Structure formats: structure tokens, C-alpha cells
Amino acid sequence: MRVEPEEHVSQSEMAARLGRSRQSVSQLVSGTRGPGGFPPPALQSGHVALWRWTEVSEWAVAAGLIAPGSEARAWAVIRAVNALLEARHAMAALDEDERASLADLVA
């Protein structure tokens, strides 16, 4: 039901993808380094936090940390396709009237 696996990343995975140290990413996340405004975690359980890579990469492009048009755009498309596939799957469980009332939200 997905074109790519979940796009959630840890700080360690962000560091690898951005070519930075784990400490540098930690400082970006906390706002002690960089322009601030780092996206909040998408998921948090106790001390474990995960971010959506699309949001991180879009922020990194805006912050000048990665080049525009790089993989950030591809991940945005993949995220949208994954969301549409998930919505299609969820809507299959609804009756015709429920699907019709929700169809306008997708457009």
C-alpha cells in the first residue's frame, strides 16, 4: 500500500542523510544552531522521537543545508502518493454516501 516505506527518521538517520554529525543535528533540532524553526517530531514515545523526512528536507532546503530540487522534492511526491494510497484503502471501508461526502476533501 506504499511506494516507499515509512519516511520517519531519527536524529542519527537525519545526520547520515544531511552529511552532518549527530551532535550538529541535535543542535539544529534544539534551535541552538541554524536558523531555528526545525519541524517538530511526527512521532514521540518517551525519549524516542521520529521526524518526517519530507518536512526535515524541506526545512533543510529553506535553511540552505541541502540544494533545492534535490531528493527533497522526490520525497514530497512519495509522501503525497503514500497518503493517497492510504486514503484510498481507508475509503474502501466506507459506504457510498460516506465516500461521496469525503471525495471533495481529496480534490
**Please, which residues have CB within 8 angstroms of residue 87's CB and are 6 or more apart in sequence?**
106
How many of the other CB atoms lie within 10 Å of CB of 28? 24
Residue 17 CA, distance from chain mean position: 13
Q: What letter would DSSP give residue 107?
A: -
How many of the other CB atoms lie within 10 Å of CB of 58? 18
- 104 vs 14: CA distance, rounded Å: 36
pTM confidence score? 0.66
Whether the predicted pLDDT of 83 surpasses 70 = yes
Each residue's pLDDT tens digit, 4-62:
666 889 999 999 988 999 999 999 999 999 999 999 999 999 999 999 988 898 899 89
